[in-house]
Amino acid sequence: MLADDSGESEMTDIEQTLCEDEAGRDITNRMLFDMLRKISSEIEDLKTIKQTTASVEAKLSSLLTRVTEVEERVSELKDTLMQHKDNPPPTKADMEDILERLAMAEDRSRRNNLRFVGFAEGVESRDIIVF
């Protein structure tokens, strides 16, 4: 009977182990299914993040282009400012003074251009004093 008792106890242990294995498999399958569902959800979240990141990168690229253009314009303006500091353009008063001097110079040059009416062309010949 001892032998039978040991056989029965062995069966019970085997049956118990099998039941635990099946229960464990059910738990493991549920756990795997839950894990797959979570992974799938996280993959969708990652896709959304990837799209958002791509959008942000495109905007940053656009901003980088604009910043580069602004830097170029600022550089050109600095160069122009330095040129104006080295050689400033004439002011309104300077221009009026220059125009006044030009008018005086033109008037003086006209004083030497006298016309004598009534004399034929070339009458004075080469000796103006004898004329």
* pLDDT tens for the chain, residues 1 to 131: 344 444 455 556 656 665 556 656 666 777 888 888 999 999 999 999 999 999 999 999 999 999 999 999 999 999 999 998 888 888 999 999 999 999 999 888 877 777 777 777 777 777 767 65
* Alpha-carbon span 103 to 109, nearest angstrom: 10
Q: Where are the domains of the chain?
A: 15-111
DSSP 118: S
The model's pTM is 0.43
Residue carrying structure tokens 């029965």: 8
Side-chain-side CA neighbours of residue 42 (13 Å): 6
